[in-house]
Amino acid sequence: MKNRVVLITGATGGIGKAVAIALAKQNFTVIIHGRDKEKTLKVRDEIITITGNTDIDILVADIFLLSNVHGMVYDFKQKYKRLDVLINNAGGIMGKSREITTEGLEKTMAVNLFAPYLLTGLLLDLLKESDDGRVINVSSSSHRLNAKPDFTDMQLDKNYNPLIAYGNAKLFLIWVTMHLQAKLDRQGIDNVMVNVMHPGAVKTNFGVDSNLGSMLNFISKLARPFFRTAEKGAETLVYLATTNGLPAKGSYYVDRKVAVVSAKYHSPLNEKIVWDYCNAITGLNL
């Protein structure tokens, strides 16, 4: 795996950090993304100490903001002319009150869907320079448990609920993964593959600060001790980043196996609606 370049968003803790350490041990050049420069530098130094791999770099950006995603890509392209693996790991569940970014986007959709969509689109040219380019999106079983999309109210202006917002974003991320792979296949681009995965319920700080209401906060606190470790949650990401001859592309993986996506709301038309909506919000024309 020498000289393979990987960019991991949300890599200063939890699953992102665990997969960064695992890939650094396999001699990847690892670029970790974080929101806080001091913390991201500290994690970089920790990864170097743990793995002995000095090819660890950082990118700092608040990817709730699409303008910052553009800036992050600009910074990356100043230093790197190729990207082998992009892991869109950063995400989050928001609180019970609907919040918007300074760009006017609902925060759950901004970080879980629009940011990875935009980042992938802006880096696709560099992924095509790889002989084995890979995009791995991190979704969730929440796409099955909580999604309830309203295609006339994509960002839940009227009926906001934090779990529905999160479930919708993760469902839509699966759909755009499938859609992008199909487009690459039609274009004859066989050196880039796109997959999506669910890491399982992981014992990290994810969602700890989200106020979901007293009952859900209580249930979450009770369940957390039974969650899997970040290292266990990262295993499927490492598998998708490194394994030759994966069983499928454009697919949803759980525990290193292809899993079934909820078909409840899916149709080619709905998938295209989400794809076109992401294009419109991000200004891309993928």
Catalytic residue numbers?
Answer: 166
Q: Which two tokens stand for residue 279?
A: 């294009």
Best CA proximity match to 16, nearest among 166, 199, 208, 243: 199
Task: Label each residue of 236-282 as H, E or C.
Answer: HHHHHHHCCCCCCCCCEEECCEECCCCCCCCCHHHHHHHHHHHHHHH
Distance CA 228, CA 114 (A): 28
Measured between alpha carbons, how far is residue 12 from residues 38, 105, 223 in Å?
10, 24, 24
What's the count of helices (H) and strands (E) in the chain, helices before strands? 10, 8
Q: CA torsion sign, 244 to 4 to 195 to 180? A: negative
84's tokens: 């082998």
What are residue 197's phi and psi, to 5 degrees? -145, 165
